[in-house]
Chain A
């Protein structure tokens, strides 16, 4: 008979082994589904993994957004504030950055244009998140619902702008703005490929927030509040103030990621930008157990899976396989969590 026992403490090696095994099981399981559907499982895995290695720049491009948004989400999640509005906050960041790039660039020296866009995006994304955060702090409104629904509001604002007032003169009828001036573009690192200097910003964000969340007084307050509202109040912490700050920071980082994406990749505002990444980042954060440095690593891994979504159809394999794998990985990692919390023993009766 199998007996399940609660673990007092999870050994460190299991904290590493269990997620890796879970991911392997997920890959195995996806291969099984591929085989059943008659696809060539080996070819698919090859496309995903070898393809990612060859096109590592694209993988990292995805990783940049995931890292920055992921850190933002982790701040809120650590406080047990479920901000799932990163996609919308990201769009507000894009809109604010685009606004600066398109309409204020004449007044801003070229060298300061990018920083100005980033600051605008941070304010835009942060304020957008504060709508949910403020309602939560003041009236205890469920932030899951408000932050999720605000994603649609942000999307419609974006669509309105690119179809209406901000529609470019040179857009040839497409719903998009004019291209940004050159000073508003983040340069690429290499002569070929799309990998851009946003990667540096992402790495800095990961490291800075690692220290902020794990070593600073602010991070301490977030940890304690995440443990329980009563213990935080008892320790003399202001809940409302901390919810405001954390939600602003969370949205600000999503906004920054939006600005980087729109400036480095598209160079113009259009409704076809990859904002789904705001949802994917939630998976990254969950897989990383909210640890900033782990978020940095897992973002790259998830970046590869996202890249596979575009590379698989080219190899004649349905793109859904990559999505399926993302889902399965999350599923198995969460299920695997059971084994880090419980011990399963064989008991002879």
Chain B
């Protein structure tokens, strides 16, 4: 059984701007296996699959499908002709159309819509793999799980033999997850191969035959699911070598409790529970890190504190006041700063000048004008931000969309610390920044801590957690698994907590 259906050798992909998304990646897929691609966000899983499905072209390395080297034109159409089909995380279905109508969309060979033969073919596929989909149902009438099965049928209808599933369980309930994998297992028995992209370790161990772990664009290792365990996978995923040189000094005076969360519960945008009984506190002069794989409630956590998301349960207390139900504006006026994850869509208005962006939080203050805005005062404040934070910008009336990522983050940082905040919520503040800008952001946060401010630092990077935090809370599936002193925290234990495993590990092993 050593015959590979797909082989990717030494794949390298560099994006404009020099970001290396994949390098020296090897991946081989056998006939009839479920192969998991495991890695954190940004590990290069999707890029690799986009190369396999012909959306991207690799900058280096070779791709073989059934021992045939792929050269020349290779796009999505060629990929599906070779039997490679992908089910994307966001379904590509036309909702008012029926299942049958969705099958032939984009298929240029279909000139006449022969419903009878399409329906019978769908029924045949549905029967064979127990997908239980009625060909004449309209997409909008179907549940998310059913829509996903329609996507699977669509790929099989087009003749896919290798099915790539991008985070297939992200949208499903636990029961649906189980039935999905039952179906996938059944498909492998018929000789199909499945690749599924995920960052959830438990699924990988339960359902996959083989696992390839990606980290930072490299394929770290391929293992058999039966020969490994959570602890090893956690190690491979987060990496062991850490630069543990701390950037914050010890012996800062710890002040009173600034922020306290008590049993906070909240929903995500899809209406599913995203935070469950979250409790912790941060004191002045303290940085609390939140570690965890992205998508475990980080975004929601930052939003319940800043008033952007309603709290279903529990309370948020800021310096003794209950702010659980307060509006965003009220919370801003309490001097709580927020460095959001989404710099472009949330932190800044791209097509507006730096001046407009500089006053986003304080435009309601009377010194900037009660009715007509005081242009002179605004320009002064903006100029001060630009000078203090060494922001590179041609002039302060320039649209911010022309600025680089590092300068954008500096502008946000300048604005958020302008009014001397008591509490700073920072979500992935160094995402996408180069080394210099990363260092700058960290130094500024350390400086605020020294001034006695409380900081919540949500991070996807354990190195950052080690460098910057006093304590670390691990978030998994909307719950705080544990809160540890960062100094001396065991990386292996953190990795396991991030995977949702709480039992004590023998650290001497």
A residues with CB within 8 A of B: 8-9, 211, 215-217, 220, 223-224, 227-228, 230-231, 233-238
Chain B min CB distance to A237 (Å): 8
**Nearest opposing residue in chain B for A234, CB measure:** B346
Closest 6 CB pairs of A and B: A236-B329, A227-B349, A236-B328, A235-B360, A230-B346, A236-B332
**Nearest opposing residue in chain A for B369, CB measure:** A217
Instruction: Offer 24 A-B interface pairs, CB within 8 angstroms, sorted by A.
Output: A9-B399, A215-B372, A215-B373, A216-B369, A216-B371, A216-B372, A217-B369, A217-B370, A217-B372, A220-B356, A220-B373, A223-B352, A224-B349, A224-B360, A228-B345, A230-B342, A231-B345, A231-B348, A233-B328, A234-B347, A235-B360, A235-B363, A236-B329, A237-B329
Contact residues in B for A215 (Cβ distance below 8 Å):
372-373, 375
Chain B min CB distance to A55 (Å): 39
- Report B394-432 residues with CB < 8 Å from chain A CB: 399, 402
Beyond A223-B349, A228-B345, A238-B329, 19 additional contacts (C-beta under 8 Å) are: A8-B402, A215-B372, A217-B372, A217-B373, A220-B363, A223-B352, A223-B356, A224-B349, A224-B360, A227-B351, A228-B349, A234-B340, A234-B360, A235-B328, A235-B361, A236-B328, A236-B331, A236-B332, A236-B364
Interface size counted on chain B using CB atoms at 8 A: 33
Contact residues in B for A220 (Cβ distance below 8 Å):
356, 359, 363, 373
- Report B321-357 residues with CB < 8 Å from chain A CB: 327-333, 338, 340, 342, 345-352, 356
**Nearest opposing residue in chain B for A211, CB measure:** B372
Contact residues in B for A234 (Cβ distance below 8 Å):
308, 328, 338, 340, 346-347, 360
Contact check: which of A217, A228, A236 meets B327 at CB < 8 Å?
Answer: A236
B residues with CB within 8 A of A: 308, 327-333, 338, 340, 342, 345-352, 356, 359-361, 363-364, 369-373, 375, 399, 402
Contact residues in B for A8 (Cβ distance below 8 Å):
402
Contact B373 A231, beta carbon cutoff 8 Å: no
Chain B min CB distance to A231 (Å): 5
**Nearest opposing residue in chain B for A228, CB measure:** B345
Contact residues in A for B352 (Cβ distance below 8 Å):
223-224, 227
**Nearest opposing residue in chain B for A224, CB measure:** B349
Residue of A220, A224, A233 most packed against chain B (CB within 10 A): A220
Bound-state CA distance A211–B364 (Å) is 18
Chain A min CB distance to B301 (Å): 16
Known: A224-B352, A236-B328. A231 touches B360 (CB 8 A): yes
Contact B350 A227, beta carbon cutoff 8 Å: yes
Chain A min CB distance to B413 (Å): 15
Bound-state CA distance A227–B346 (Å) is 10
Known: A223-B352, A234-B347. A9 touches B372 (CB 8 A): no
Known: A9-B402, A224-B356, A234-B340. A217 touches B345 (CB 8 A): no
Contact residues in A for B347 (Cβ distance below 8 Å):
231, 234
Contact residues in B for A235 (Cβ distance below 8 Å):
328, 332, 360-361, 363
Bound-state CA distance A61–B332 (Å) is 48
Bound-state CA distance A9–B329 (Å) is 33
Contact residues in A for B333 (Cβ distance below 8 Å):
236
Contact residues in B for A238 (Cβ distance below 8 Å):
327, 329
**Nearest opposing residue in chain B for A9, CB measure:** B402
